[in-house]
């Protein structure tokens, strides 16, 4: 069978790598792909991004399954286009993808269905937003409604930061947020305390199959300092997701979301990712929904998955996820992102990358912003590589990942030295 993966990041490299390991898959196309997916044995890049062009290709090449990595093609309606042409694809419809593409929609949905989340208010008018901020005070969180590549959230510790965020989100749009209908909008919400975890499940419209838990590191610098990024590293499992927390998340967040979407007439299919804040009592609250897998969470999660991902996704697109049980490597997987100079604001491109190791059973280097230039591999985006390793515990996985990482070089490389620190301190 031939498979198509849509996207060009580290998540898509990991998806394609894992799918290619299935004995039933002989070719994985990655559209548009990156320098890592261009070179690998069963993988091939495809310079396409438009939904109709992708569907044309899937039809003419008899692609048996398409998987969507990032949010942009989902909110452009790629799943709707494929389905209308009878093509098998795993992901949410454009309407269901609003759980991610509109924070205001997601908050209203959660409130209506009793899903635990921070108290909030929504504004389109900057004066009203400023007045509200003055009433509630700091700390407070300001979020742009539309998609902003992970950069549309400001956790403001002072009122001045919050007012500034309202201005650049609502008035200047310096982040280039993709506005939804009705123009710029912000969600202002209560600042929650606790520990974060990424809880990702597969949904076939009715049944839910949870993946292993994980934790991301959103800030650029060690000690969770500096600006928010798309994610600088991740590991799986996340010890904060105890069996008790797991049960509560399924019961209080995931199942009500899947049921609520079905009841609202927008049945959810695809990966559903709940970004959670878990307080000291193990009470989970939803910070956000993503309607796709996380990047970089996918890289460590898929390193640990022993089951055949292709089989799992065939069940997911047949509506038979209740027949699947996933097998996991008991080891911990940990991935460290190497980003280019200037990331996240102005990533530099074109630096030569050297020292990449051979693929090993316990270590993989997944590519994101890389591009082949003859025999040279060069940086071509913000997050460049995700060095991912397995180990018997977090410390050993961390040691192995950094050992591999130290052999890799490109000018201006930025990476955190403390990925996994929360799990090690525990
Ligand atoms: P989001 O894109 O909504 O997940 O937000 C990005 C990051 O901002 C999250 O991973 C959290 O670290 C932080 N964040 C978002 N909402 C809140 C909140 N209500 N309270 C505290 N931190 C938050
Ligand atoms: N790593 C966070 C995300 O994929 O949204």
Please provide the size of the chain in residues: 426
- Mean pLDDT (whole number) for 268-296: 97
- What are the start-end ranges of the E strands in 53-178? 63-68, 89-90, 120-123, 140-144, 153-156
> Cα torsion at 315, 318, 321, 324 (round to 10°)?
-30
- In short, whether 204's Cβ falls inside 6 Å of ligand 2 is no
User: Ligand 2 mean position to 134 CA, how many Å?
Assistant: 31
Euclidean distance between CA atoms 379 and 386, whole angstroms: 13
**pLDDT digits 0-9 by tens, 144-192:** 888 876 678 899 999 999 999 999 888 876 767 788 877 788 999 999 9
Distance, CA 79 to ligand 1 centroid (Å)?
Answer: 28
Predicted pLDDT of residue 39: 66
Measured in Å, residue 230 CA sits from the centre of ligand 2 at 6
Bridge partners (DSSP) of residue 63 are 2
pLDDT above 90 covers a percentage of the chain that reads 89
- Position 228 pLDDT exceeds 70: yes
How far, in Å, CA of 77 to CA of 348, rounded?
31
Residue identifier of the C-alpha nearest atom 6 of ligand 1: 153
Convert the pLDDT of each residue in 77-120 to its tens digit: 999 999 999 999 999 999 999 999 998 899 999 999 999 999 99
Query: How high is the mean pLDDT of the chain?
Result: 95
Mean pLDDT value across residues 323-341: 98
Q: Report CA(46)–ligand 2 centroid distance (Å).
A: 24
Ligand that comes closest to the CA of residue 11: 2
Q: Which atom of ligand 1 is nearest to the CA of 192?
A: 20
With a cut of 60, say whether residue 227 has pLDDT above it. Answer: yes
Which residues are registered as beta bridge partners of 142? 154, 188
> What pLDDT score was predicted for residue 146?
84
CB-count burial class (<10 Å; 0-12, 13-18, 19+) for 88: middle
**Contacts of 319 by beta carbon, 8 Å cutoff, 6+ apart:** 204, 205, 206, 207
Range with the poorest average pLDDT among 22-31, 36-45, 154-163, 258-267: 36-45
Torsion of CA 144, 145, 148, 149, to 10 degrees: 110
* 231 within ligand 1 shell (Cβ under 6 A): no
pLDDT for res 180? 81
Dihedral sign from CA coordinates of 403, 409, 415, 417: positive
Cβ of 322: how many Cβ atoms within 10 Å?
A: 12
Which stretches of 8-138 are assigned E, i.e. beta strand?
A: 27-32, 43-45, 63-68, 89-90, 120-123
Q: Is 118 in the pocket of ligand 1 (CB under 6 A)?
A: yes
pTM of the complete model: 0.95
Distance CA 238, CA 219 (A): 17
The whole-number pLDDT of residue 422 equals 84
**Spatial distance between the Cα atoms of 164 and 173, rounded to a whole number of angstroms:** 12
Any ligand 1 atom below 6 A from CB of 155 = yes
- The pLDDT of 383-398, averaged and rounded, is 98
* Cα 216 to ligand 2 centre (Å): 7
Is the shortest distance between the CB of 290 and ligand 2 below 6 Å?
yes
Lowest-pLDDT choice from 149-153, 230-234, 316-320:
149-153
Q: How far apart are CA 155 and CA 266, in angstroms?
A: 31
Give the residue, by CA position, lying nearest to ligand 1 atom 16: 287
For the ranges 26-35, 171-180, 374-383, the lowest mean pLDDT is seen at 171-180
**Nearest ligand 2 atom, CA 296:** 1
For residue 283, what pLDDT is reported?
Answer: 96
Looking at the predicted structure, is the pLDDT value of residue 426 above 60?
Answer: no
Identify the residue with better confidence: 398 or 171: 398
């Amino acid at each position: 069978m031939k498979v198509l993966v849509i996207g060009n990041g580290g998540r898509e490299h990991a998806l394609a790598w894992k799918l290619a390991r299935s004995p039933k898959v002989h070719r994985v196309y990655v559209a548009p792909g990156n320098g890592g997916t261009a070179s690998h044995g069963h993988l091939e890049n495809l310079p396409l991004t438009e939904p109709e062009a992708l569907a044309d290709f899937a039809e003419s090449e008899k692609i048996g399954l398409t998987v969507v990595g990032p949010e942009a093609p989902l909110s452009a309606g790629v799943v709707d286009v494929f389905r209308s042409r009878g093509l098998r694809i795993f992901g949410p419809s454009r309407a269901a993808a609003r759980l991610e593409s509109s924070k205001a929609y997601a908050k209203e949905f959660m409130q209506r269905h009793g899903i635990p989340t921070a108290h909030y208010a929504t504004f389109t008018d900057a004066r009203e937003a400023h007045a509200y901020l003055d009433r509630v005070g700091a700390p407070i969180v300001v979020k742009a409604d539309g998609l902003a590549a992970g950069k549309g959230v400001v956790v403001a510790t002072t009122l001045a930061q919050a007012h500034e965020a309202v201005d650049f989100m609502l008035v200047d749009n310096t982040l280039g947020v993709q506005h939804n209908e009705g123009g710029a909008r912000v969600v202002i919400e209560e600042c929650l305390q606790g520990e974060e975890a990424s809880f990702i499940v597969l949904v076939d419209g009715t049944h839910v199959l949870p993946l292993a838990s994980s934790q991301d590191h959103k800030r650029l610098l060690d000690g969770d300092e500096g600006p928010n990024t798309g994610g600088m590293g991740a590991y799986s499992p996340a010890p904060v997701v105890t069996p008790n927390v797991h049960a509560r998340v399924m019961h209080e967040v995931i199942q009500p979301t899947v049921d609520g979407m079905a009841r609202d007439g927008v049945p959810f299919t695809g990966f559903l990712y709940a970004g959670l804040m878990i307080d000291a009592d193990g009470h989970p609250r939803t910070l956000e929904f993503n309607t796709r897998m996380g990047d970089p969470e996918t890289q460590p999660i898929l390193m640990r998955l022993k089951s055949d991902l292709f089989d799992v996704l065939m069940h997911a697109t047949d509506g038979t996820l209740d027949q699947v049980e996933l097998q996991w490597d008991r080891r911990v997987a940990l991935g460290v992102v190497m980003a280019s100079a200037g990331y996240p604001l102005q990533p530099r491109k074109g630096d030569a990358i050297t020292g990449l190791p051979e693929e090993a059973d316990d270590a993989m280097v997944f590519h994101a912003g890389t591009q082949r230039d003859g025999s040279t591999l060069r940086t071509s985006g913000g997050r460049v590589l995700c060095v991912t390793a397995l180990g018997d515990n977090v410390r050993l996985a961390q040691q192995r990942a950094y050992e591999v990482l130290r052999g890799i070089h490109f000018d201006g490389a930025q990476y955190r030295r403390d990925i996994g620190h929360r799990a090690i301190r525990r």
